[in-house]
Amino acid sequence: MRFEYRIRPRRVGLILGAVALLLAAQSLLTEYLTENVLDATVNATLISTLDLFSVNAEDTIPTWYSTLLLFGASVLLASITLAKRAGRDKFSLHWLGLTTIFVYLSMDEGAVIHELAGSYLGETVEFGGYLTFAWLLVAVPLVIVLGIAYVRFILHLPPRTRALFVLAGLTYVGGAVLIEAISANQYDLAGVNFGYLAIATVEELCEMLGIVLFIYALLSVAGSLGYAAAYTVVDAAEDASADTPTRFSRFSEHRTIWLAAGLVVAANMVLVFFAVGQVPTAQQVLNATAAQRAGSILYALAPSEVQVTRMVGLFEPNNITARRMTALLLELYDEVMVVSLMSAGQSFALAGETLPFDSRGVTDVLHENGEIQFLIFDTPAVQMITGSMDAENR
């Protein structure tokens, strides 16, 4: 039995482009919530989850999609290269070169290879402004050289294919180089904020749309080759006149698209309401900031042989979880000191065979760093509070 799937370049391009637009819009929404609504000290877990939808972070869904687009383009280029070499086309080496370039671009998108060059240049010479991302110094000359090398190749293409190739190249390079330079300047001026992330999102969208245009052009080229393959490419004219049967028994394709769009909109409305509900109060932000600052102080105070453990809530007789934790530490270490930070609502246990400081030394360090509301329990006090728990259990 022969399986045949009819590929329509226009439909493929529209679907891939719509997914790119959706991912960019989703990223813009999550970046806004991350930068302007949520607090990094209180909503760290939620922010890490939202980062999965960011086009500006690595190891995310949009990055995976861009990698797939580039790899898909390289597969199409490889099949066209085989056809051109079989027909002894004089530009077959140019097609092979494009295949190699897109294989590398797909690896670079997933592994961020270009940032290695940027890091090396940044360590050698300090750049700023539009060249804050130093890898642009490598990218721009390469683009110029490749452009010159492919002038004859572009000119020999049919007019429609040539226009699509040029438009795809300008869209991709415009995002990867020009808009990247604008975002680099914004980053140099203000660091990571919503303005920078919005510009970077436009950059990533241009890159994705450039690849989508290129894939559409490659599918059209593949349809004109007459090269035997496991798929059949339908030309635009045939696609318009074809009587395509309904693929779904209950919903038409258009209804399915609208249903998917409605679900995405509804999911994002729920996300916005949920995120707004997670906005911390001023007191929660102060507590989290105080806990983070005090934790940094204590971690810096304790040498490597001292175990620093953060507790949930304050260490007190009513906090069963904290008492159990200190009981376990007392079984493992000879000395356990607990510092309760009243302003942060958090306690830290310092445990070791012998603590190289006493409560007075910890008090002095905390005072020097602006902490005034705290309680310190030395080892006997910790043993007494923890022992009362043991008595209660008996």
Give the residue-averaged pLDDT of 240-262: 57
**Quick one: tokens of 193?**
């904020």
**Confidence label for 391 from pLDDT (cuts 50, 70 and 90):** very low
Distance CA 152, CA 268 (A): 48
**Quick one: tokens of 290?**
């105080």
Phi, psi of 303 (to 5 degrees): -70, 175
Distance CA 349, CA 226 (A): 74
The confidence score (pLDDT) of residue 98 equals: 93
- Where is average pLDDT lowest: 139-143, 281-285, 300-304? 281-285
Give the residue-averaged pLDDT of 293-300: 69
Identify the residue whose tokens are 């760093």: 369
Q: List pLDDT tens digits, range 331-353.
A: 888 899 888 877 667 788 888 88
For residues 39 and 280, is the Cβ–Cβ distance under 8 A?
yes
Give the residue-averaged pLDDT of 243-247: 46
Q: 3-state class of 310 per DSSP?
A: strand
Q: List pLDDT tens digits, range 11-50.
A: 889 999 999 999 999 999 888 888 887 766 566 777 788 8
For residues 114 and 139, is the Cβ–Cβ distance under 8 A?
yes
Residue 18 gets which letter from DSSP?
H
**Helices then strands, each counted (H, E), the chain:** 16, 6
Helix (H) or strand (E) holding 298: helix 282-301
The confidence score (pLDDT) of residue 233 equals: 58
Detail the DSSP E strand segments found in the chain. Answer: 5-7, 231-233, 307-310, 335-341, 346-352, 374-377
Q: List pLDDT tens digits, range 63-101.
A: 999 999 999 999 999 989 988 888 888 888 999 999 999
**Confidence label for 309 from pLDDT (cuts 50, 70 and 90):** confident
The confidence score (pLDDT) of residue 213 equals: 95
Give the residue-averaged pLDDT of 272-288: 59
Q: List pLDDT tens digits, range 98-115.
A: 999 999 999 888 777 766
